[in-house]
Amino acid sequence: MPENKVRKYFQLIEAWAWCDICEDMISLNIDKNEIISGLEMGIYTKEYKHANPSPDLEDTDDVSGQEHTIYVYINDNYDITGVKSFFGESPSTEEIGAETIEAGGEVRIPVIVKEISPMAVQLGMLTKEQFKVLKICDGMNTIEQVASIAQKSVEEIEKMMEQLRKKGLVKVIKRT
Ligand SMILES: [Zn+2]
């Protein structure tokens, strides 16, 4: 899989993100102001709906011609820290299951139990880091993927999940 790339300009960035469904790089221009104003504690999630204009018509498994969405996670340095592709309005844990079962072994997917407002940080209920990580726990990312997107170690994320679980904010779904 080719690496995601970003070219940074004064006003905007040009991003190339790998879409698993198209099996191709998707190119996007994103205004830096959009990223800055959408950054929630260090991560912006760019949502982009698209369809592959030239799907493989002879391959019945190729569904990339149908509209789907990619999430491109961008940090405050305008770098891509993760990408997710899915069909429908929002990523579902079902799709995660299908994707990860192939990889084998047990996977752990942290999911937010309660919607948390940025106010929780101002009130000192959560640290900025915890809030940032919670935003990535959308049911699509495994613990390892959350760590990679947040640019932290798996051990740090595991520790944080345990703290958040005790606060009743997160549950970790296990799949085999
Ligand atoms: Zn695509």
CATH architecture observed for domain 91-176: Orthogonal Bundle (1.10)
Report CA(18)–ligand 1 centroid distance (Å).
8
Query: Which tokens belong to 83?
Result: 């990408």
Tell me the pLDDT band of 35, cut-offs 50, 70 and 90: very high
Tell me the pLDDT band of 97, cut-offs 50, 70 and 90: very low
Name residues with Cβ closer than 5 Å to ligand 1, which is an ion.
19, 21-22
Please state, in angstroms and rounded to a whole number, the distance separating the CA atoms of residues 82 and 45: 9
Report CA(74)–ligand 1 centroid distance (Å).
18
Q: What is the pLDDT of residue 27?
A: 95
User: What residue type is assigned to position 164 of the chain?
Assistant: L
Q: Is the pLDDT of residue 175 over 80?
A: no
Domains in the chain: boundaries: 1-90, 91-176
Q: What is the pLDDT of residue 23?
A: 92
Phi, psi torsion values for 173, nearest 5 degrees: -85, 135
Segment 46-94, tens digit of pLDDT = 999 999 998 988 888 889 999 999 999 999 899 999 998 999 877 665 4
User: What residue type is assigned to position 126 of the chain?
Assistant: L
Report CA(107)–ligand 1 centroid distance (Å).
25
Q: What is the pLDDT of residue 98?
A: 41
Q: What is the pLDDT of residue 100?
A: 41
CB atoms within 10 A of CB 27: 11
Segment 148-157, tens digit of pLDDT = 999 999 999 9
Report CA(15)–ligand 1 centroid distance (Å).
14
* pTM, full prediction: 0.69
Phi, psi torsion values for 98, nearest 5 degrees: -60, -40
Q: How far does the chain reach from its first CA to its final CA, in angstroms?
A: 25
